[in-house]
A and B are shown apart, each in its own frame.
Chain A
Amino acid sequence: MTEIEHLIQNKTPQGIVLTHGTDTMAFTAAALSFSITNPPFPIVITGSQRSSDRPSSDAFFNLYNSVLYAASPQAKKEVVVVMHEKSSDTSCTIHRGTRVRKMHSSRRDTFKSIGGSPLGRITEGKIIYEMEEENLPIKAKLKNKPVHITKNFEEKVGLIYHYPGIQPGILDYCIEAGFKGIVLVGTGLGHVSFNLIPTIEKAIENEMIIVMTTQCLHGFTALSVYESGRRLQKAGVIHAFNILPEIAYIKLAYLLGNYREKEKVKELMKQNLKGEITIREKYQEFH
């Protein structure tokens, strides 16, 4: 991070390519997206699913296309992940750093943009943009403002996957340990078992921010439709449309690290800062 900051401040490169392990690549992509506002050049993260000691490694192709993109005047000045589009060594996808997810434990084409088209793809050395116009702009990108970097992330933030039979004690621990925020990964539209709700209420009374996301990954959360959702909403659980659970976790840690006012954090959580929320989900995007 310090090195990236250094590069940014000196404005030397035309773009940077960051090589990264694939397991936590999406977390890093999101973290960089939130922490760097108005980056002066494209920041590309890439890696490989087959290690580079194998003749069949995808490392070379991914690195080649990442450099090609980072150095291109056509490239967008934001954080992206560039990785294999298919099993073939024929094209790479350019994913926005706040919509990307590792979806397969081993395949080369593991990274997918969820809930909308990826930013674009690179095939035979050409960059082709695909993202819908309405999703393209990044709100937090302020015109004519200089780059802004923050390295503050709140550590006491949790990510809890809900399951039938979950024990409220898990949340009790977080309250006792002084957690400032929790992202819950609920079922369906954003639901949890009723027996968890009193503990959630207690957590919110203890100044904790609880954000609801969905295990379905695809689709929006909606807390007004069913009883469970309505009770959560009443308790003060907030939700942020179709933000992905891991991205919500990073975003919450970022907001809590940089804003003191809880209300501001809650408000910003629901805003689309770095393209983490899809404006409109199209029919063709899910199959």
Chain B
Amino acid sequence: MTEKMFDYDNLGFKAGLEIHAQLSTEKKLFCHCPAILTNEKPQAIVQRKFRPVLGEMGVYDPALLIEFKKDHTIFYEVFDSVCIYELDETPPLPINDEALYDSIKLAKMMNCKIVEETNICRKNYLDGSVPCGFQRTVLIGYDGYVTFKKDPSMIEEKKLPISWIYIEEDAARRDNDRTKGKNIFFKLDRLGIPLIEIVTDHSLSSPSEVVSAAKTLGMLIKSSGIVRKGLGKVRQDVNVSISEGERIELKGIQLLQLIPIAIDIEIQRQLGLISIQKELQRRNIQPQDIPLQIFDVTKVFSDTSSDIIKSAFKRKKRVLMLPIAGFQGLLSRELQPNKRFGTELSDRVKSFTNLKGIIHSDEDLLKYNFSEREIYELSKECQKKAFIIVIGKKEEAQRALSFVHERLLAAFNGVHQETRHVDDNGISTFTRDLHGRSRLYPDTDLPPIVIDSNRVIKMEKNLPENFMARIKRLNKQYSISNELAESLIYEEKADIFEELIEKGAPIKAVVTTLTQTLTAISREGVDINNITEAHLLKIFEALVLNKFAKEAIPDILTNLGKDPTKSLTDIVNHFGGEMSQEELNTIILEVLKTSQELVKKRGMDAFSPLMGLVMKKARGKIDGKIVSEELRKHLKKQV
């Protein structure tokens, strides 16, 4: 754990988690298509436009209106594995029973109450990720809890209340290779795969608690036996707030280790925004001091030598300016490493329009090759106030400035509620404003579902082994440490571990293979996705039958990973083949002969380097233990 960056209690830090995991059902949630991803070329492309609709309360959701203003055209890639349901061309079929009751099982494992009757609800999305414009989502459980250790290194436990558990449809996959400008492409294969959503309450009070809770939830979900395996199949979003700030949704955090880093950066960002708010107060600037008054300053650049402006002029673009009184020096205030308040404004413009971003008065304008005269004119034009410039077609540039203006007004209230995407370095980028409540409403295509309580009761008596109990059992049964048991479960290797041991494989070799060898060869660039559990079973079966010595496992796995089409039997035979004692002795004597100087110099200390030389020739063909015994014997004789 990294050292504490902030006094979290003092800041009033609060966090909650939202976990998504794909269920491992054979079929999708509302149609009979296989729940698989494909690499096929699309059979057809279907083009659509989305429009905002009135919510049940008769108002538009503002976030949906913004999405609409982006004016995107959506293209769907159609595959053999999808039907017309995914294309929004036919109503849903009744909900997938397996998925429904699997998710109830998980809800029960999290001590949730199960709803007696549940409505299928619609959650509007206008970004095109769901072709019908809404995701179907179904409440399953509520009011549950999981117990987790406050800190992995501590014994003290804490209960994390689970607020809601939903089952919903996964969205379509964005195809970034084809997406260009306002034309957004999606692959329809993922759409409709059953997804479980677990929403915790907001009571986590430090980053380490968040990590520990996320890990616990992850282990619980993975040990339930109902979710798809593999990286990214369980996704966690973190909601973070501090007393003076706002709830921010951080999405896309793939690795647990990134959670505390991303949280600390977010706290830093919120503190930065709060300091801007306070500075505005100190300067006595009010929202009405920055009206949305846009100036066309194109003429300032009539004979410019700035390349970006020159090339923009060729495409008939204009330069618009928004003066912003009182923001001097605030635009360059750093909120995240290398990301300033100006960057936040720019991110919004990039997200809502097709413009490349903004230029602001806190920047060194000479870097854009603006002349001294141009800079002077700009500052004269806005009466020496701070300003934002955008370059684009008039209408779009105006739109961009109105988004900037909206965000600047929000700065008077400190932190603005939004959803942000976290990159691998923990730094986040604006994705969208938080959706309002009015976009969730009952689906009229399917009747409410009555949950079979008898089936739930039966299921409750038969829940999968609790992962805490499993850790203890693995520890006892196989004499492995709790930490090891925990990581086997978290990394979804506990099942194959137990299966291999059951087949008679030696524990130590299995542990080394699962926890070290695979990671090591993966680091060397071998694609370990090619190595299946069935392969591992076969390899260890051969090991048990002494077809090769355990030292050959890394080589066998490497070969298999590099070319999964090769026959495993061939690979095993290549590295296997028993070596007789005589053969070994010949090798040892040869090595001793060529290394006489080393033996003279270091005596018995030469054992290690010599062992390495012998093993080069004997690895995998004879047990390393025998090699070491024999070598020691021969070396002793010579010393």
Contact = CB atoms under 8 A, between A and B. Distances in A.
Given A53-B53, A55-B53, A106-B89, A89 B84 contact: no
A106 B134 CA distance: 18
A52 B125 CA distance: 15
Interface string A85-122: 01111100000000000000111100000000000000
Interface string B58-101: 00000010000000000000000000100111110000000000
A88 B89 CA distance: 11
Nearest to B68: A55
Contact of B84 (A56, A88, A107): A107
A107 B131 CA distance: 13
A53 B56 CA distance: 10
B50 interface: yes
A137 B131 CA distance: 41
A107 B89 contact: yes
A52 to B, nearest CB: 7
A87 B51 contact: no
Contact of B126 (A55, A87, A88, A105): A55
Contacts of B51: 55, 57, 60
A161 interface: no
B49 interface: yes
Interface string A70-91: 0000000000000000111110
Interface string B109-141: 000000000000000111000011110000000
A198 to B, nearest CB: 44
A61 B50 CA distance: 10
Residue of A55, A57, A87, A108 most packed against chain B (CB within 10 A): A55
B47 interface: yes
A54 B132 contact: yes
A50 interface: yes
Interface string A38-57: 00000000000110111111
A50 B47 contact: no
Q: Chain B: interface secondary structure? A: loop
Interface in A124-141: none
B57 interface: no
A89 B72 CA distance: 13
A60 B133 CA distance: 14
Interface in B12-64: 46-54, 64
A56 B50 contact: yes
B512 to A, nearest CB: 53
A90 B183 CA distance: 14
Given A88-B47, A89-B49, A108 B89 contact: yes
A52 B53 CA distance: 8
Contact of B90 (A53, A54, A60, A106): A106
B53 A106 contact: no
B49 to A, nearest CB: 5
Given A106-B90, A106-B91, A108-B89, A50 B49 contact: no
Interface residues of B, number: 23
B84 A50 contact: no
Contact of B47 (A53, A57, A89, A107): A89
Contact of B134 (A55, A60, A87): A55
A56 B46 contact: no
B90 A61 contact: no
B134 A90 contact: no
B131 A56 contact: yes
B88 A50 contact: yes
Contacts of A50: 88, 132
B47 A56 contact: no
A90 to B, nearest CB: 5
Nearest to A106: B90
Contacts of B91: 106
Contacts of A106: 84, 89-91
Residue of A53, A60, A61 most packed against chain B (CB within 10 A): A53
Contacts of B48: 56, 88-89
A60 B126 CA distance: 15
Interface in A180-220: none
Contacts of B64: 55
Contact of B52 (A49, A55, A61, A107): A55
A90 B47 CA distance: 7
A161 B90 CA distance: 26
A87 B89 contact: yes
Contacts of A60: 49, 51
Contacts of B88: 50, 54, 56
A242 to B, nearest CB: 28
B133 A54 contact: yes
Nearest to A61: B49
Contacts of B49: 60-61, 89
Contacts of A56: 48, 50, 88, 131-133
Contacts of B89: 49, 87, 106-108
Nearest to A57: B51
23 contacts: A50-B88, A52-B53, A55-B50, A55-B52, A55-B53, A55-B64, A55-B126, A55-B133, A55-B134, A56-B50, A56-B88, A56-B132, A60-B49, A86-B46, A87-B46, A87-B84, A87-B89, A89-B49, A90-B47, A105-B90, A106-B89, A106-B90, A106-B91
Pairs A-B, 10 closest by C-beta atoms: A55-B133, A88-B47, A106-B90, A56-B133, A107-B89, A55-B50, A87-B46, A56-B132, A89-B49, A88-B46
Given A55-B132, A61-B49, A88-B46, 9 more contacts: A52-B53, A54-B88, A55-B50, A56-B88, A56-B131, A57-B51, A60-B51, A89-B48, A107-B89
